[in-house]
């Protein structure tokens, strides 16, 4: 991280006619919630809230640039529920390109594929002698191998893929099929269809199945390029070498405290397809964010959940690379997301981006359904921030905690209103001190294609840059 981005953040622009503030938020008490006007959320449990500053007006509107791609490859053809061809996509996460430690390329970022095109099946779709359950999945290209993409963005709005690194696990290409590993099982059953008329056939789960959702590029102790990734099935935190080989995996374990390379068991209580969604590297620390609050019913663990549908608590995991220490923190999503028409379960974290090398200061991208809420916040882990228990007691309102401090950096929803963009904002980073870059996951344009709407010839994800008149980081 360069010196410019290690210094204090001044909030300068929040919306088309809104900027950011420099006032310091009050420190929340562990016994009493802060005043509602300064509070970021108001959950049903009586725990301290993370304050967010209010935006102030500015006369210069940010510049929004949509970047489109022309050099993405065709992937294959899907035959259900109708026949259509689709191209490379499903990008999630964003990370600055570092050619060497401490150096950043001003117009390039890394991103990664998720599990590839897949379609939700329901019991009513059952056919060919097969009985589907709601939530089973059709995979038109089961052998789809996820890839790291190094992307260059031009001022004119063009995007180009400069480098691709195929991901591998245990020497074999990764794929997006549900995992056969017990600590990553989702309960989904995968199916395929090889011809337009079928029949459907059941697929086996895969030992190399992952649903990647975030990437951060950095360097190992010897100065070699490496990548940190998160995926949703486990959810898991992974490290990959410069050639894309996954060399380590951290996943939830009931014996977490006794197993060095593991994560707290409670995060297995994630809702379906709501595991890890963002990752960033900050000096000696790796931070990963859960996309949504834990499942009120218990998620994938089979245990009773916390029962609270109104919790705004997203769990953050912080791994110290040198010691292996794993800690958990609480991030409370914004009240603005609920006011925009969403529910707590609909508010998602899309990604993280480190602001310095301390492991305690980073950007958080929030979004909700139909792009009604897209915003970037600065988050800080302080001495007062609670290290969470490996249980759902905090979500249930049975254990008090102090969440990470947050303040609004940019309210992007007004800036992006009216643009034809995919729904899901799943990557955030900065190109320079005035420019944010947001990666949108278009799910291979599946919604447009199924609705018989015109889709881009190259069914590409879109990356949006938002340039501000004044530096965001001083």
Query: Using one digit for the tens of pLDDT, what is the confidence trace for 325-368?
Result: 999 999 999 998 898 878 999 999 999 999 999 999 999 999 99
Q: Is the pLDDT of residue 178 over 80?
A: yes
User: For 57-68, how does the pLDDT look when each residue is reduced to its tens digit (9 = 90+)?
Assistant: 344 789 999 999
pLDDT for the residue numbered 76: 86
Banded model confidence at residue 472, pLDDT cuts 50, 70, 90: confident
Report percent pLDDT > 90 for the chain. Answer: 69
Per-residue H/E/C for the chain = CCHHHHCCECCCCCECCEECCCCCCCCCCCCCCCCCCCECCCCCCCCCCCECCCCECCCCCCEEEEEEECCCCEEEEECCCCCEEEECCCEEEEEECCCCCCCCCCCEEEEEECCCCCEEECHHHCECCECCCCCEEECCCCCCCCEEEEEEECCCCEEEEEEEEECEECCEECECCCECCHHHCCCCCEEEECCCCCCEEECCCECCECCEEEEEEEECCCCCEEEEEEECCCCEEEEEECCCEEEEEECEECCHHHCCCCEEHHHHHCCCCCCEEEEEEECCEEEEEECCCCCCCCHHHCCCCCCCCCCCEEEEEEEECCCCCEEEEEEECCHHHHHCCCCHHHCEEEEEEECCCCCCEEEEEEECHHHCCEEEEEEECCCCCCCCCCCCCCCCCCCCCCCCEEEEEEECHHHHCCCCCCCEEEEEEEEECCEEEEEEECHHHHHHHHCCCCCCCCCCCEEEEEECCCCCEC
Q: pTM of the entire structure?
A: 0.87
Banded model confidence at residue 86, pLDDT cuts 50, 70, 90: confident
Q: Is the pLDDT of residue 1 over 80?
A: no
> Which one has a higher pLDDT value, 473 or 102?
102
Please report, for the chain, the start and end positions of each structural domain, with discontinuous segments joined by +: 3-26+34-120+144-185+198-467
User: For 274-297, how does the pLDDT look when each residue is reduced to its tens digit (9 = 90+)?
Assistant: 999 999 999 999 999 999 999 999
């Amino acid at each position: 991280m360069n010196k410019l981005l290690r210094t204090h953040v001044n909030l300068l622009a929040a919306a088309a006619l809104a900027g950011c503030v420099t006032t310091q938020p009050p420190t929340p008490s562990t016994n009493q919630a802060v005043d509602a006007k300064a509070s970021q959320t108001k959950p049903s449990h009586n725990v301290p809230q993370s304050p967010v500053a209010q935006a102030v007006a500015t006369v210069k509107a940010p510049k929004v640039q949509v970047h489109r791609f022309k050099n993405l490859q065709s992937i294959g053809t899907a035959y259900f529920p109708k026949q259509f061809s689709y191209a490379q996509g499903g990008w999630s996460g964003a990370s600055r390109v570092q050619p060497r430690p401490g150096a950043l390329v001003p117009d390039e970022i890394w991103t990664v594929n998720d599990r590839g095109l897949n379609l939700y099946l329901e019991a009513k779709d059952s056919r060919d002698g097969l009985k589907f359950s709601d939530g089973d999945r059709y995979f038109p290209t089961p052998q789809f191998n996820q890839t790291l993409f190094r992307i260059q963005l031009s001022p004119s709005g063009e995007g180009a893929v400069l480098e691709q690194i195929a991901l591998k696990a245990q020497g074999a290409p990764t794929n997006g099929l549900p995992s056969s590993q017990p600590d990553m099982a989702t309960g989904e059953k995968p199916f395929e269809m090889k011809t337009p008329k079928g029949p459907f056939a059941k697929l086996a789960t895969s030992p190399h199945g992952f649903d990647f959702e975030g990437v951060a590029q950095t360097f190992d102790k010897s100065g070699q390029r490496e990548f940190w990734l998160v995926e949703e099935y486990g959810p898991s935190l992974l490290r990959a070498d410069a050639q894309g080989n996954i060399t380590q995996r951290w996943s939830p374990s009931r014996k977490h405290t006794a197993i060095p390379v593991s994560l707290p068991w409670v995060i297995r209580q994630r809702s379906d397809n709501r595991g890890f969604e963002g990752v960033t590297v900050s000096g000696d620390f790796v931070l990963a964010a859960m996309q949504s609050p834990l499942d009120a019913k218990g998620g994938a663990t089979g245990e009773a959940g916390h029962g609270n549908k109104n919790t705004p608590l997203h769990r953050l995991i912080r791994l110290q690379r040198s010691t292996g220490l794993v800690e958990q923190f609480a991030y409370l999503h914004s009240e603005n997301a609920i006011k925009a028409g969403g529910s707590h379960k609909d508010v998602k974290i899309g990604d993280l981006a480190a602001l310095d090398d301390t492991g305690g200061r980073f950007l958080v991208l929030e979004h909700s359904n139909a792009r009604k809420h897209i915003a970037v916040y600065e988050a800080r882990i302080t001495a007062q921030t609670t290290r969470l228990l490996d249980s759902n007691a905090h979500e249930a309102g049975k254990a008090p905690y102090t969440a990470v401090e947050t303040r609004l950096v940019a309210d992007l929803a007004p800036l992006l209103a009216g643009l034809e963009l995919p729904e899901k904002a799943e990557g955030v980073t900065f190109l320079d001190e005035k420019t944010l870059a947001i990666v949108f996951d278009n799910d291979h344009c599946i919604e447009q294609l199924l609705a018989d709407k015109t889709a881009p010839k190259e069914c590409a994800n879109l990356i949006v840059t938002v340039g501000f008149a004044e530096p965001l980081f001083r």
